[in-house]
Chain A
Amino acid sequence: MRRVRWNAPLILGLTATAVLIVIAIIAPWVWGERAEQTDYSATHQSASAAHWFGTDLFGRDVFARTMVATRPTLLMAFAAMLIASVGGIIAGSVIWVSGPRVREIGQRVIDILISYPSVLFALVIAAILQPGAVTSVVAIGLATCPAFARLTTNLAASVATRDFVSTSRLLGVGPLRLLRRHILPNIAEPLLVLMSVAFTISLKALTGLSVLGVGLQAPAYDWGSLLAKGLEGIYVNAWPALGPSIAIVVAGLAGGFIGDGLAAAANPASSRRVPKRTMKAALAAASASVPGAPPLLRGDEVVPAEDVGVVAVRGLSVVMADGTRLVDEVSFTVGEGEIVGVVGESGSGKSLTAMALARLLAEGLRAEANQLSVAGHNLLGRPPREKLAKDIGIVYQDPASSFNPTMKVGSQLTETLRVHGGVSRGKAAARAIEQLTLARVSRPELRIKQHPHELSGGMRQRAMIASALLTSPKLLIADEPTTALDVTVQADVLRLLREANTRDGVTILLISHDIGVVSAICDRVLVMYAGRIAEELSVEDLRAGNARHPYTRALLAATPKVTETSGELAPIPGRPPQPAQRPSGCAFAPRCPLAQDVCVEERPALMRIGTGAAACHALTWQPVGVQ
């Protein structure tokens, strides 16, 4: 068992429960006499120092009676909880151990029972047996059984899919032994939480039965029957009703707090949620220009207006809330009609760069830049949303999760046109069909009326591309558009992108971890490493193997080529540094075969070499272009 993680609700709940238990034990001795003492000279009194909860119509002290009623109330609730949990666990286990057909039917029956109000179920049992303490306990216990049984089967089913259970099953362990040795021990903890919840439910329901007059019968009394009696005279004096109400609320809160506390203790991560993308994300390095080297694309400069093109980025950083830079001072431009690829390992910051350009960073991440001009909009300001929606088209990585499952494909494709373009539903649909045809989606008239789950993966990604092109965007950002697809579909999707570029002249920024994908359709390639641009080169240089940066060369060496029948693939030794542990020098230095002292000490700046650029110290001591 893990150590209990104490938290405020848990401590509060346990303390209150302990106090209630103590009261239940000592109450008959301490308050027993007072609870029965009638005083006709002091009937229907309000709360006072002498009578904390006032007096009832016989002048009896309501506080004393409430305290005395604690014992029967708690005992009955505890007994009902035992029946519910034991019965539920047995029923759930039996259903689970039985064959698949019995299990199916059993679960259906439990579902029906659960959907039936348990109070009514308890009332029926109370009607069959004589009303009284035992009847109430049995009634509430049985009425809570189905919920317990279902949770047991659910928990058992979730444990049963784990590896060690399948292994045991393969080894021929029978279902009974499986249940006893593997399943029950693993669901003990959630069942414990459940029992504390069941106790609260039982207490509420039992008291409810007594309120209705079909629970504990006079002369015995619990909180519920006190409440019912108090309710009768509430206009004369509210205290006989309020007193037991306070007790019921305190007990209910104690149970609720224990439930909340146990749940929080079992799942401490739930309170501090960090976006998943952030956790996965990237590495970084800071920028410092090397004296003497000709600096290129400096982050603090601004691209002159006539050279801006479709994308002009200067000194773009993506920063976490704690100041960690996941993308660190990246600068580049994309010209009109160009296809520019961004490659790098996962965590290199390439997708974050793309999302910063699309203004779609996850919650908790923020983009900083000296210049961030995309599709004619200054993203550092507040560009009008309808223009932004139309001018930037985006193709996401996973077509299965990027379409809204509850909306028809057509409405999703045409939403920007309809909402921001004021195009009518019919005209928008016609254009969607047209665009889907261009994207080679079969039977487009049918597809727009279907839901995403009715389309195949490749078809969904083609529809996504059609969706992005529907508004004739100035820039198409494709974030790993082929990663989630079958190899056979990948080439098809790349061809579509290329076609859109030649047909409509749309500018494309293609993000990929696959250097093969990038070299297939791009004009120019940016290689990212640890949140920075390591190299920028033309696709001709890339294909010819004319890479300058040692990282790019290592990447190429690690990629198989179809044209080469033999040849060793060289994996890159080591791993990229975590953002928090980035070195003061070149981030690639620890893995670089050429690294010298200067690489560890100083960060290299991007230097122009031929038609490209690279950030590497080795270029200053090595003749350019020599392989």
Chain B
Amino acid sequence: MRSPWFRFIVRRLIGLAGVLIVLVAGTFLMVQLIPGDPAQLVAGPNAAPEQVTHVRETLGLDQPLWNQFTDYTRGILSADLGNSFATGEPVSKVIASRLPFTAQLAFASIVLVLLISVPLGMAIAVACQGGRRRWLDSAFTGATSFFGAIPEYVFGVLLIFIFAVSLGLLPNSGAATVSAMILPVAAVSVGPVCTLARIVRRETTVVLAQDYMRTARGRRLRPLRLYTRHALPNLLTSTLTLGGLILASLLGGTIIVEFIFNWPGLGTRIISAIVSRDYPVIQGVVLVVGLLAAVINLLVDVVLGLTDARTLSGKAGTR
């Protein structure tokens, strides 16, 4: 009998390969789908015919479609993503210098979101068990729906206004110091914290009513052990199955927030690339962010597998 982890890893690797294929095909098609003549568009409306031809040749757009695709794929496999039209820099270098900042922002936010939303949701569910403390329940629902309705970029603006402009406490842009990270991370995290805390609160209520929680109470455990050892792994299963998507979409939030705070990550770079129609950079960033999203999903599934062995075999969330 093989370890369930072996089959899990094999299945996930196949899945990751699938995502990679979709991403490579998608970014390749992206350039093909540009309406009209991509070469003309890239060279600019006033470019001379020779310039357009030159662009067409450098992009390889004069090649048959299949050749273009194999060239593109071969390039990706050898970590050659082409050069930026705007700066001439290799795209791989651009990504290498930008990725750490985006990853830093995203993972700090994910950790913060989990550290706040899970204990908060559990505490509210425990405190409001059996319809007690109605006021607390209403306050929680009201506050989470209020703050959850505010987009991250508006939060960013408000945070800049309060902490950078009015109080002068924290820097409003750049990534020079650790304190520069506080506001962007806060702006990215507030929305996901609200959504996830509500999910955790609902799932905790469900878990607390389960028979196995009564069994655990029958062992007269202290509340801390009861909630962390017995309730937490069970509600993590259902919470992360639902909330994993929130964590992945949090990456989208970082792109906008990076722009607001002038954070030197992939987000600000892709915006400037889109404005200047710098397709190699766009392709590269889309590829990398897509992989990052897949990695976050994978991490979520690994955590799920660690807390609940049933999810390894793909039979998740049965209760």
CB distance from A279 to the nearest CB of B (A): 12
B154 touches A245 (CB 8 A): yes
Give the size of the chain A interface in residues (CB under 8 angstroms). 75
Inter-chain CA distance A301–B121, complex, in Å, is: 46
B297 touches A242 (CB 8 A): no
Question: Which of B49-57, B62-70, B71-79, B245-253 is the interface stretch?
Answer: B245-253
Question: Which of B80-88, B92-100, B175-183, B209-217 is the interface stretch?
Answer: B209-217
B271 touches A214 (CB 8 A): yes
A406 touches B237 (CB 8 A): yes
CB-CB under 8 A from B165, the residues of chain A are 234-235, 238
CB-CB under 8 A from A108, the residues of chain B are 18
CB-CB under 8 A from A398, the residues of chain B are 211
Interface centre among B149, B222, B244, B252 (most CB of A within 10 A): B149
B255 touches A119 (CB 8 A): yes
The verdict on B225 contacting chain A, using a C-beta distance below 8 Å, is: yes
Inter-chain CA distance A28–B211, complex, in Å, is: 61
CB-CB under 8 A from B277, the residues of chain A are 127
**Chain A 230-250 residues near chain B, CB threshold 8 A:** 230-231, 234-235, 238, 241-242, 245, 248-249
CB-CB under 8 A from A213, the residues of chain B are 271, 275
Of all chain A residues, which has the CB nearest B235?
Answer: A406
Q: How many A-B contacts are there with CB distance less than 8 Å?
A: 198
B310 touches A273 (CB 8 A): no
The verdict on A112 contacting chain B, using a C-beta distance below 8 Å, is: yes
**Chain B 27-57 residues near chain A, CB threshold 8 A:** 30, 33-35
Inter-chain CA distance A386–B220, complex, in Å, is: 7
B22 touches A451 (CB 8 A): no
Inter-chain CA distance A415–B215, complex, in Å, is: 11
B157's contact among A234, A363, A404, by CB below 8 Å, is which? A234
A117 touches B249 (CB 8 A): yes
Query: Knowing A213-B271, A238-B161, A242-B157 touch, does A405 contact B145 (C-beta < 8 A)?
Result: no
**Chain A 402-433 residues near chain B, CB threshold 8 A:** 402-407, 412, 415-416, 419-420
| Complex interface bits, B8-33 against A, C-beta within 8 A gives 1, otherwise 0 | 00000000001100100010001001
CB-CB under 8 A from A552, the residues of chain B are none
CB distance from A289 to the nearest CB of B (A): 35
The verdict on B186 contacting chain A, using a C-beta distance below 8 Å, is: no
Query: Knowing A241-B161, A273-B131 touch, does A403 contact B274 (C-beta < 8 A)?
Result: no
Query: Knowing A117-B293, A119-B255, A241-B161 touch, does A255 contact B274 (C-beta < 8 A)?
Result: no
Inter-chain CA distance A415–B290, complex, in Å, is: 44
CB-CB under 8 A from B248, the residues of chain A are 115-117
Give the size of the chain B interface in residues (CB under 8 angstroms). 78
CB-CB under 8 A from A57, the residues of chain B are none
A360 touches B249 (CB 8 A): no
The verdict on B282 contacting chain A, using a C-beta distance below 8 Å, is: yes
B252 touches A119 (CB 8 A): yes
A248 touches B30 (CB 8 A): no
Of all chain B residues, which has the CB nearest A227?
Answer: B157
B211's contact among A364, A402, A407, A412, by CB below 8 Å, is which? A402
Of all chain A residues, which has the CB nearest B309?
Answer: A451
Inter-chain CA distance A420–B222, complex, in Å, is: 10
B310 touches A453 (CB 8 A): yes
A394 touches B218 (CB 8 A): yes
A248 touches B259 (CB 8 A): no
**Chain B 232-290 residues near chain A, CB threshold 8 A:** 233-234, 237, 244-245, 248-253, 255-256, 259-260, 270-271, 273-275, 277, 279, 282, 286, 289-290
Other than the given A257-B145, A363-B130, 10 more pairs (CB < 8 A) read A115-B297, A116-B293, A212-B271, A214-B275, A245-B154, A364-B130, A396-B211, A406-B233, A415-B221, A416-B219
26 A–B contacts, CB within 8 A, in A order: A117-B251, A117-B253, A117-B255, A118-B249, A119-B252, A119-B253, A124-B26, A124-B30, A131-B274, A208-B256, A212-B256, A212-B259, A214-B271, A241-B161, A245-B158, A253-B145, A256-B148, A257-B145, A275-B209, A385-B220, A386-B220, A396-B215, A402-B212, A406-B234, A407-B229, A420-B220
